[in-house]
Amino acid sequence: MNEYKGIPRKRLPAGVRTDTLAVREGLPATPWGENSEALFLTSSFVHPDCATAAARFANEEDAFVYSRFSNPTVAMFERRLAAMEGTEACIATASGMAAILILVMGLLQRGDHVVCSQSVFGSTIRLFQDFAKFGVDTTFVPQEDAGAWRAAMRPNTKMLFAETPSNPLTTVSDIAALAGIAHAGGALLVVDNCFCSPALQLPVNFGADLVMHSGTKYLDGQGRVMAGAVCGPKALVEGRLVPVMRSAGMCLSPFNAWVVLKGLETLSIRMRAQSARALQVAQWLEQQPQVARVWHPSLPSHPQHALAMAQQGGQGGAVVSFALRASDADEARRRAFALIDATQICSITANLGDTKTTITHPSSTSHSRLSEAQRQAAGITQGLIRLAVGLEDVQDLIDDLQRGMEPA
């Protein structure tokens, strides 16, 4: 077996559907005929001769050159995710935060302005605040208030950045409304699609220009690696972001790309199963006398239930938050800690997007750097608990939450 035999290469028929693309889209197999995608752990690629090398370095010939620029395993992940998001192109990055970094480096310059939801991931807020020292200012506005987004627009606004649904209260942004506001002002709308993934929500169908991901969450789906990506039109991804990648190097490792690539194959069934379990847990929580309020987009009690169902393919996603009843903040915090500490299955971690259910107390972890007044304004109270529901048996999860519920 030291000679390639070569195999006849099948091509995907045009027009196959998303579930097929999630399993099959990529690059052709090597002549060895491997069925599972190969992991190309190599930093560079060899050229047959100097003339070919010269042509490749001059971009006259398409080829893999160096893994900071591109790599076959990374390219397979990019092609598959772009196909699932319904975009022309995708660029993979080392993490979700690196995806936001490349967006700003590639698309904005000194004097530009950004409008961003105030409910986005905490590090996203800090990163946008940091860009101020390079002359890019950001205005933070309420997640669901389209009027506030419109009012924050300036002549130099170049980007609107939204994340929907929000963490931990699952507040929904109306993507189509934000796209209208962005385009009326000559700006781009970027949507962080981490919480729904393309299995539930396709932001470009509602007018978003670019979609970013933390692949660390549901795309991997088993809490193993860091990864990120930006999906969008070729003109922006290849024209504006690829050059930044080549010089700045926030590239995705081929190993991590391989893990998330394989994760995409099961994304749709995982998201649907986790979303269904989350709804069952949410419905049970709503019936508990110890619980003051439950947030999950599939519940009719969710303030934006109809919008969420229209935007998220009828699914609520895997994140459920609930507030415990208590007479004051100290008692609320004590009850929340007691419930979380009594769980024997749920993992106490602020991460999410795993097959293992995670449980966290936002006000003392992910939102601990806010002042108590800011937390109150954002609804992150001391009695609030966030669950990111995984794939365990749902009755076992309900039993786990029951363990630490104090008598009402």
Ligand X SMILES: *Cc1c(COP(=O)(O)O)cnc(C)c1O
Which residues are at the interface with ligand X (CB under 6 A)? 95-97, 121, 123-124, 163, 192, 194, 214, 216-217, 226, 228
* Cβ atoms of residues 213 and 263 within 8 Å: no
Least Å distance, CB 235 to ligand X, is 25
Least Å distance, CB 124 to ligand X, is 6
**Residue among 124 and 343 whose Cβ is closer to ligand X:** 124
Least Å distance, CB 263 to ligand X, is 13
CA pair distance 352, 240, nearest whole angstrom = 31
**Residue among 169 and 339 whose Cβ is closer to ligand X:** 169
Least Å distance, CB 165 to ligand X, is 10
Residues 6+ apart with CB under 8 A from 95: 214, 216, 226, 227, 228, 250
Least Å distance, CB 121 to ligand X, is 4
**Residue among 82 and 101 whose Cβ is closer to ligand X:** 101
Least Å distance, CB 163 to ligand X, is 5
> Which 8-state DSSP code applies to residue 66?
B
- What value, to the nearest 5°, has the Cα angle with vertex 352 and ends 300 and 87? 80
As given in the structure block, the two tokens for residue 127 are: 């990163």
As given in the structure block, the two tokens for residue 206 are: 């509602």
DSSP notation for 326-366? -SSHHHHHHHHHHHHHH-SSSEE-S--SSSS-EEE-GGGTT
Least Å distance, CB 128 to ligand X, is 12
Element (H, E) at 248: helix 242-248
Residue nearest to ligand X (CB): 96
**Residue among 125 and 237 whose Cβ is closer to ligand X:** 125
DSSP notation for 305-322? HHHHHHHTTT---SEEEE
**Residue among 114 and 226 whose Cβ is closer to ligand X:** 226
Least Å distance, CB 365 to ligand X, is 13
**Residue among 4 and 255 whose Cβ is closer to ligand X:** 255
CB atoms within 10 A of CB 266: 16
CA pair distance 87, 190, nearest whole angstrom = 13
Between the alpha carbon of residue 37 and those of residues 26, 89, 258, the distances in Å are 8, 20, 8
**Residue among 217 and 302 whose Cβ is closer to ligand X:** 217
**Residue among 30 and 123 whose Cβ is closer to ligand X:** 123
> Which 8-state DSSP code applies to residue 386?
E
Using the Cα atoms of residue 218, residue 220, residue 226 and residue 229 in order, give the sign of their dihedral.
negative
Least Å distance, CB 227 to ligand X, is 7
CA pair distance 130, 404, nearest whole angstrom = 40
**Residue among 217 and 270 whose Cβ is closer to ligand X:** 217
CA pair distance 92, 363, nearest whole angstrom = 32
